[in-house]
Amino acid sequence: MHSFARPLLAFCLLIAACAGVTPPPASAQEQPIEIRSASLPFKIDEPGSTQIGRLIWRGGVSMTANSASFGGWSDLHVSADGRTLTSISDLGAWLTAAIDYDAKGDLVGLSAARIGQLRGLDGKPIAGKIDADAEAMARLPDGSWLVAFERHHRIWRYPTLQGAPAPVEGPADIGRLPPNGGIEAMTALADNRVIAISEEYRRRPDTVTGWVGSRKPDGRYQWRAFDYPTIPDFHPTAIARLPDGSFVTLERAFDFVRGVRCRVMRFAAADLEEGGIVRPQELARLASPYAVDNLEGLAAGKGRNGETLLWLISDDNFNPLQRNILMMFELAEP
């Protein structure tokens, strides 16, 4: 895209996002939907390109569906066998689907998809952006889910995504988080610890605050804070644990001139010390002409040949000028 066109496109994106009509919430009862997937080029001006930084392209798709509630995907979980995807949206919808691969094991689409609406504490479907803005999710070892919401900041535990939740005690400063800058990244470990990172809340300059939550015998969590360093414009949107025990994070930036850019980062588990600062290292930076959009969800696991895989999903803001994209990368050995 010519440089003069980028500010115009960014302005159009902003206007469309502000003026767009909010789609109706998904039905509380899960429903099958059909997802139509179109192959996504990795690098528009270089069709033969297959790698950026430490990431090797393993396929990507742009997705539409026959549901007005399909979109806004804020986080991502992929089953250990790589066959099933689960996501949540910032309007409170949840999605499950089978992940389709070709003979080489590369991503080609989704099938057998179902969609529904998260419920509130009263068992009724959540409605309205303020209450339904689900931004992060974590699958606990017992199969239940933690979901973090912003605007009305809270963490709820769902036995299943179709069921009614129970409130979970969050970090002591959860009430101080910016309305649109709350817990954006979250993952759970095998020992029931939970790692959560805010998008904008900070205790120190040039960082945002994260927490490690340890589950006590009574089911409550005890939280201790850490700091996650940031660079100008970039904020964390997702976290996942890699098979080797380290953590991978996704960071996003946007401005009128350069559009959306994303960084894929990695830090060691040993960095998560009380009051400490983690030390993420950049694995790759995605920006046009590479495939990129408003990436907010991240999952990690092993492929059929033992390789480490990353799946990334975007939030289209229900904006016709943006896309719901799903991408898969293999992490190259150092």
Cβ proximity of 286 and 261 under 8 Å:
yes
d(CA 223, CA 115): 32
- pLDDT tens by residue, 145-184: 999 999 999 999 999 999 999 999 999 999 999 999 999 9
User: pLDDT-derived band of residue 204, with 50, 70 and 90 as boundaries?
Assistant: very high
In whole angstroms, give the CA distance from residue 72 to residue 263. Answer: 20
DSSP state of 30: -
Q: Answer left, alpha or beta for residue 112, where phi above 0 means left and psi between -120 and 50 means alpha.
A: left
d(CA 202, CA 160): 32
20-37 pLDDT tens trace: 446 666 666 789 999 999
The total number of structural domains in the chain stands at 1
Q: With beta carbons less than 8 A apart as the criterion, state whether 167 and 154 touch.
A: yes
We report the CATH number of the domain holding residue 16 as 2.120.10
Specify the pairing of strand 259-267 against strand 247-255: antiparallel
Instruction: Using alpha carbons, select from 117, 111, 114, 98 the residue that is nearest to residue 35.
Output: 111
Q: How does residue 273 score in pLDDT terms, banded at 50, 70 and 90?
A: confident
Residues 223 and 200: their CA atoms lie apart, in Å, by 18
What does the pLDDT average to over 92-103? 98
Q: Is the predicted pLDDT of residue 118 greater than 80, yes or no?
A: yes
Residue numbers of the domain that contains 174: 5-331
The reported pLDDT for the residue numbered 275 is 72
Name the phi and psi angles at 269, rounded to 5.
-60, -30
Whole-number pLDDT of residue 36: 98
* Average pLDDT, rounded, for the chain: 92
Residue 267 pLDDT: 97
Check pLDDT > 80 for residue 16.
no
Where b means 16+ CB within 10 Å and e means fewer, 27-51 reads eeebeebebebeebebbeeeeeeee
pLDDT reading at 8 higher than 50: no
Q: How far is CA 273 from CA 42, 124, 212, 245, 314, in A?
A: 37, 40, 9, 15, 31
